[in-house]
Amino acid sequence: MQTVDDSKIESASGSQPAVPVHIAVIMDGNGRWAKARTMPRHAGHRSGVKAVRRIVEVAAKRGVSYLTLFAFSSENWRRPKEEVSRLMNLFLDALQREVDDLHRNNVRLSFIGARDELQQGLVQKITLAEEKTKDNSGLNLIIAVAYGGRWDIVAASKKIASRVAADELALADIDDECLAGELALAGKPDPDLLIRTGGEQRISNFLLWNLAYAELWFCDCLWPDFSERHFDEALSYFSSRQRRYGHTGEQVGVA
Ligand code: FPP
């Protein structure tokens, strides 16, 4: 959990590390990629899985510790039934096919989102994958499925409210840290960098709380085309940023 305190001056002190600890990605543009090739949308999503594989590999290679991918939002349930169903099957297939390989590569896999909205078969695979990879010490790969930033904050608020109602928590003790401790990414550092492909420049209800101080990098490239080169461009942009966390440039020594 990241709170804004003076310790942040240290990490904001001019010498920004080239590699963010935590990168979050909005993988947009699968549909347009397919349309440009007169292919059905699901062909774009299938190609998107290949880009996921590439980016997991390069993130691990560059020494990123956490990679959080927005695979399916709370709002994506509004898509045509057939697309939703194909996407769910794609997640299931990808899990089945990739887990052993991820495990061999020391990747720790976890999922965030409203599991009660997912089909049982998928929830079982998710639970097994998390269990299998839980002791791995390499890249933490977090997949957001049926996830929304507002859902996350509402769910955390409910947990806090029930602790207050049960007299386990005093109202006065509710602060940033307390709320962050109930969010889906509790215990993990906030993303340092958000990458969004597909040309749109918005957050789209992703990690609303956790992205508070993230650097934002947008590119026009459609997700299935996202490559190592784009990833390195994002890293290079990140390393050029001065992070102040509310302090002045003078305070962080790079005015
Ligand atoms: C947005 O593109 C993409 C999605 C809603 C699905 C993302 C899924 C994948 C990349 C595939 C699988 C991922 C994992 C983690 C196995 P869009 O359909 O909104 O594209 P458009 O804006 O061009 O229509």
pLDDT (0 to 100) of residue 254: 60
> Does a structural domain hold residue 182?
yes
140 is catalytic: no
> Does a structural domain hold residue 168?
yes
Counting ligand 1 atoms within 8 A of each CB, the residue from 45, 78, 79, 85 with the most, and so the one to mutate, is 45
Check if 45 has its Cβ closer than 6 Å to any atom of ligand 1.
yes
Asked whether the beta carbons of 193 and 23 are under 8 A apart, the reply is yes
One pLDDT digit (tens) per residue for the chain, 255 residues? 444 444 444 444 445 667 999 999 999 999 999 999 999 999 999 999 999 999 999 999 999 999 999 999 999 999 999 999 999 999 999 999 999 999 999 999 999 999 999 999 999 999 999 999 999 999 999 999 999 999 999 999 999 999 999 999 999 999 999 999 999 999 999 999 999 999 999 999 999 999 999 999 999 999 999 999 999 999 999 999 988 778 777 777 765
Give the three-state DSSP class for 237.
helix
> Does a structural domain hold residue 233?
yes
pLDDT (0 to 100) of residue 250: 79
| Range(s) of the domain holding residue 217 | 6-253
> Does a structural domain hold residue 169?
yes
Counting ligand 1 atoms within 8 A of each CB, the residue from 25, 27, 73, 225 with the most, and so the one to mutate, is 27
* pTM, entire model: 0.92
pLDDT (0 to 100) of residue 69: 98
Asked whether the beta carbons of 177 and 5 are under 8 A apart, the reply is no
> Does a structural domain hold residue 1?
no
CA of residue 88 to ligand 1 center, whole Å? 11
> Does a structural domain hold residue 69?
yes
> Does a structural domain hold residue 65?
yes
Check if 20 has its Cβ closer than 6 Å to any atom of ligand 1.
no
Check if 76 has its Cβ closer than 6 Å to any atom of ligand 1.
yes
Check if 125 has its Cβ closer than 6 Å to any atom of ligand 1.
no
Q: How many domains does the chain have?
A: 1
Query: CA 182, 126, 93, 103: dihedral to nearest 10 degrees?
Result: 100
Output the 3-class SS for 39-53: CCHHHHHHHHHHHHH
Which protein residue has the closest C-alpha to ligand 1 atom 10?
48
Asked whether the beta carbons of 252 and 9 are under 8 A apart, the reply is yes
CATH number for the domain harbouring residue 129: 3.40.1180.10
